[in-house]
Amino acid sequence: MRVPQEAPGLAQIRAAAKAIQGQADGTPLVPSALSDRIGQPLWLKLEICQPTGAFKLRGALNAIARLGPDVAGVTCCSTGNHGRAVAYAAQARGLRSVVCMSELVPPVKVEGIRALGAEVRIIGRSQDDAHAESQRLAREEGLAEIPPFDDPGVIAGQGTIGLEIVEALPELSLLLVPLSGGGLAAGMALAAKALRPDLRIVGLTMDRGAAMAASIAAGKPVAVEEVASLADSLGGGIGAANALTLPICAALLDEVVLLTEEEIYHAMQALYFEDRMVAEGASVVGIAGLLSGKVTATGPVATVLTGRNMDMTQVTRIMAGQDVDLGGHRVKGAPYTP
Ligand SMILES: *Cc1c(COP(=O)(O)O)cnc(C)c1O
């Protein structure tokens, strides 16, 4: 597949950087204590420091900045972090927001979104059900729909992370990007490959319900069954009508790597015990790829800690080495050992 004409280019990603300036840009980029174990400098981009706890604020702010002055409000569907971002960005602009999500979303995320002033609608058991509701609201109430990933403004916003990393680390040889709907990976790859065509970019996700990986392999959008995962922010489909993120990811990602729940569990522990940081399962798939040996770094490597909006009871269990019951799937725990 080829990068479609409607994909944002470097100019649009630089414009997005301007649009979000002072609100969601310039997160810390820090060396990881895991560098020694990996044998190469490992850099962590701390999107966990965003005011909403996740990188999605970049895309939401940029997409909402592009709306005309007389828009009635905004709506979206979300597994959590996109909804939070849209609620926050709408509130910052004084706009009404309605966030639609499925029953699989953890209650902690639902409450966080309500606290940001959004109306919440819980619909069905999949991202697709939630999506149908936000499309209805767009049609019937004239709200502007802010898609979670398959949108040029959202992709350009997420792409600003790629700009910041590549500009800060000219010596970088490998970029590891958590992959779900692919807005993050598409944006970062468009930015990074425009500046550094030789840079290797790997998308990483869990091995259960990985819709983008299956779709890239099939060459068209493929629906997969949604299952609970430690990386719950990586769940959900890519949309049957996916127009941008699938072809961009297929064209620009050098590889897609799948991780087991146990590998994600261990990487969450490693980040906590070595770097003394807490991040969602979705955030640590880059670290999991390196620690599992599924990805090999031959030079400086960077990954994005994408978010930290998780169930802290689950985090406590993981750090104590206990099993985690994901509802039908039990992740076997073990105390942390390097
Ligand atoms: C949304 C999200 C991702 C994946 O981003 P996509 O653009 O959907 O690929 C990764 N991590 C976190 C914490 C997220 O919220």
Q: Is 185 in the pocket of ligand 1 (CB under 6 A)?
A: yes
The verdict on 50 and 61 lying in the same domain is: no
Provide the pLDDT confidence category of residue 76 given band limits of 50, 70 and 90.
very high
User: Does the residue 83 lie in any domain?
Assistant: yes
**Which of 84, 112, 145 corresponds to the end of one domain?**
145
- Is 333 part of any domain? no
Pocket test for ligand 1, best of 84, 155, 184 (most atoms within 8 A of CB): 184
DSSP H helical segments within the chain, as ranges?
A: 10-20, 35-38, 57-65, 81-92, 107-115, 127-141, 152-168, 183-195, 211-218, 245-252, 261-275, 285-292, 312-319
User: Mean of the per-residue pLDDT values for the chain?
Assistant: 95
Q: In 10 A of CB 167, how many CB atoms?
A: 10
Q: Does some domain include residue 1?
A: no
Domain match, 165 and 268 both: yes
Write the DSSP assignment of 13-24 as a string of letters.
HHHHHHHHTTTT
Q: Is residue 138 exposed (0-12), middle (13-18) or buried (19+ Cβ within 10 Å)?
A: middle
Instruction: Identify the burial level of 10 via C-beta atoms within 10 angstroms of its C-beta, where 0-12 means exposed, 13-18 middle and 19 or more buried.
Output: middle
Residue 236 pLDDT: 84
Residue 251 lies inside a defined structural domain of this protein? yes
Mean pLDDT value across residues 318-322:
98
Could you tell me if the CB of 213 is within 6 A of ligand 1? no
Which residue, of 113, 145, 177, is where some domain finishes? 145
What is the pTM assigned to this prediction? 0.95
- Statement to judge: residues 165 and 261 lie in one domain: yes
Q: Are residues 183 and 41 in the same domain?
A: yes
Does pLDDT of 101 surpass 90? no
For residues 130 and 72, membership in a common domain is answered with yes
Give the pair of three-digit tokens for residue 304: 């994005």
Measured from the Cβ of residue 27, the count of other Cβ atoms closer than 10 Å reads 19
Retrieve residue 165's tokens.
Answer: 């990393």
pLDDT at residue 145, rounded to an integer: 95
Q: Is the CB of 74 under 6 A from ligand 1?
A: no
- If one counts the domains in the chain, the total is 2
Q: Taking Cα atoms as reference points, which of 312, 24, 291 lies closest to residue 159? A: 24
Look-up: residue for tokens 């802010």? Answer: 146
Q: Say how many CA atoms lie within 13 Å of 299 toward its Cβ.
A: 11
Q: Which of 198, 211, 203 is nearest to 79 (CA)?
A: 211
Which range of residues forms the domain containing residue 70? 56-145
Question: What pLDDT does residue 79 have?
Answer: 61
What is the CA(307)–ligand 1 centre distance, in A?
A: 8
Query: Is pLDDT at 192 greater than 90 in this prediction?
Result: yes
Tell me how far the alpha carbon of residue 46 lies from the centroid of ligand 1, in angstroms: 14
| Residue that terminates a domain, selected from 145, 179, 205 | 145
Alpha carbon of 58 to those of 51, 187, 196: distances in Å?
A: 11, 11, 22
107/41: higher pLDDT: 41
178 in contact with ligand 1, CB cutoff 6 A: yes
Compute the distance between CA of residue 220 and CA of residue 104 in angstroms, rounded to an integer.
25
53 within ligand 1 shell (Cβ under 6 A):
no
Q: What is the pLDDT of residues 173-189, one digit of tens each?
A: 999 999 999 999 999 99
Same domain assignment for residues 200 and 275: yes
Query: What pLDDT does residue 247 have?
Result: 98
Residue 282 Cβ contacting ligand 1 at under 6 Å: yes
For residue 13 and ligand 1, the question of a CB distance below 6 A is answered with: no
Q: Same domain for 74 and 103? A: yes
Q: Are residues 242 and 277 in the same domain?
A: yes
Measured from the Cβ of residue 51, the count of other Cβ atoms closer than 10 Å reads: 13
Same-domain pairing of 92 and 221: no
pLDDT at 122 exceeding the cut of 80: yes
Residues 242 and 141 in one domain: no
